[in-house]
Structure 1
């Protein structure tokens, strides 16, 4: 799949395309239904299947004070879009000036002049142009005037549910820590991506070394708690290792900084510092708890490891050796 960052990277030899437009945050099952339609129509017409998306998310421009955390960073979003069979993605840098274009100017410049669409695929609630004044009726009228068809794709609704697959639904599940339910909406496990950074190394001292994700990691952080999941090395291209994942502030040690840290089950030999990893969340095991001292915490961590192994369907590792820890004293890595 080709990725074009801005109109300047769109090849001049693009002659025909089938195009859709959207944020595609999370690339959930609803998005995949639309994108499957795009690919099918493109194959029928001998055209390129193209999606236009935006970076940053428009909410970060229009209401930065309460913009939702993006489910998926751009790198992972592009990788997920590639899995749908698209031929190309046009990533448009979203700014206030871009948002201020009237609907016709946007369609002429970004669709007709650049991508030469034979079909534009939209959802029923599509909005575009300054003040979101363009809608499906606007697009149909412009298509008639400018020479492209418009396909309106119905919302994708799961069986026995009146609620469509959506990024809003996905965020609600994430905020509740229901990563198993979230996986049903996404059609995959939720993931975060980032570099492994040094922490206080209490986990190593307790016998459960963890890979601490950089706070700048991409992908939305689920609710505080302990999860079973996977750590993928080498930016997701390397080994996929079973893990128990902690999200929270380490209240037993009076922590203040919210962290995401993954313990690879049964492993003390991994040197992950500085490596980019992907962490996938499969199921929530328990909420974050405050323990009255280190001993009950260690006992619970042993249970967490066993529970994670069961949830992931892998053998439970042998208990790891621990050392004494002063809860108030950070331990060097």
Structure 2
């Protein structure tokens, strides 16, 4: 999959293309259903059409209303990996700046979709908005399609099998902020993940017999609610063809038993005390919440509960 971070990186003569536009935060099942169908339609139509997604970094709301910007479910690198899994031919990650935002709807369509990507079909939802102050809507896109010679395919809302609710990134966030990682996984179609570098902590876990890998505070991904989770730890190595997933018990919180103040994400790889991960980039995947954060009266009580956490995690993870 081609990955571009500027329109100028699109090679001359690229296209024709079938293009869709969106933030695709989390790349949940609704996104995947639309994208895989779009890819299949583009490739089946003949004429060498390529399937392209245009997305944005940062999220537009972080520019227009930063105080109301949603926490991102996935970072850009994970989003690109997940988008690649849908079979897309290319993704343009457009820097969302004031210069870009101030384009009129027609300027955006002409510059990006027509001249840049040579779109023959543009795939949008009923609620599409684009251009300065969201002045462009579906009727605008249809009019511009007629003017510039591309068709517009309107995709219906993708809902749960019972039709009760639309798949959405908002729904995933609602579940993660209360710690329902298994519910979020049902919408994402995969475990929720965090990615970051392992940094030094207090080394208290090692003293207790549970050495942990502490995730950097600037890790990518939405951190779930405080608590203890069963999950997986993988070391990210760019030159490796695949990642070894190690079973883990993951703790999120401030360590109230020891009067901690800063919120931390730390993972104990079950059964392993020999790992040295400092400075490594790791990925944490969340399978199930085991319990909320608790304050213990003694270290012995804490260790007993941690042993119980590990036993429960083993059951959840099937090890």
- Give how far 1:63 is off: 1.3
Counterpart of 1:238? 243
Residue equivalent to 1:27 = 27
Distance in 2 between residues matched to 1:185 and 1:15, nearest whole Å: 33
The reply on whether 1:269 has 2:303 as its aligned counterpart is: no
Aligned to 1:135: 137
Q: Deviations over 1:52-99 (max 9, x none)?
A: 000111111111123111000000000000000000001100012211
> In structure 2, how many angstroms separate the alpha carbons of the residues matched to 1:13 and 1:19?
16
Paired with 2:256 and 2:165, the residues of 1 have a C-alpha distance of 37
Q: Any gaps of 5 or more consecutive residues in structure 1?
A: 315-333
The alignment's TM-score, normalised by the length of structure 1, stands at 0.93
Q: Is 1:15 the equivalent of 2:15? A: yes
1:66 aligns with 2:71: no
Say whether the 8 Å CA contact 1:235–1:278 is kept in structure 2: no
Stretches of structure 2 that go unaligned for 5 or more consecutive residues are: none
In angstroms, what is the RMSD of aligned CA positions? 1.0
Shift of 1:238: 2.9
* Deviation (angstroms), 1:37: 2.6
The answer to whether the aligner puts 1:306 opposite 2:307 as a matched pair is no
Q: Say which is worse superposed, 215-224 or 34-43, in terms of deviation.
A: 34-43
The TM-score with structure 2 as length reference comes to 0.97
2:110 is the alignment partner of 1:108:
yes
| In structure 1, distance between residues paired with 2:15 and 2:21 | 18
For residues 15 and 158 of structure 1, the distance between their equivalents in structure 2, rounded to whole angstroms, comes to 34
CA contact (8 A) 1:16 1:47 kept: yes
**Any conservation in 2 of the 1:42–1:48 contact (CA below 8 Å)?**
yes
Who is 1:281 aligned against?
286
In structure 2, the residue matched to 1:214 is 216
Quote how far apart the aligned CAs of 1:217 are.
0.5
What SS does structure 2 have at the residue aligned with 1:291? coil
- Which residue does 1:325 correspond to in 2? none
Change (3 A) 1:94 1:150: same
What is the CA-CA distance between 1:15 and the residue it aligns to? 3.0
Distance across 2 between alignment mates of 1:235 and 1:293: 39
> Secondary structure of 1:125's partner?
coil
How many equivalent pairs are there? Answer: 314
Once the 2 structures are TM-superposed, how far is the Cα of residue 233 of structure 1 from its aligned partner? 1.3
- 2:90 — aligned with what? 88
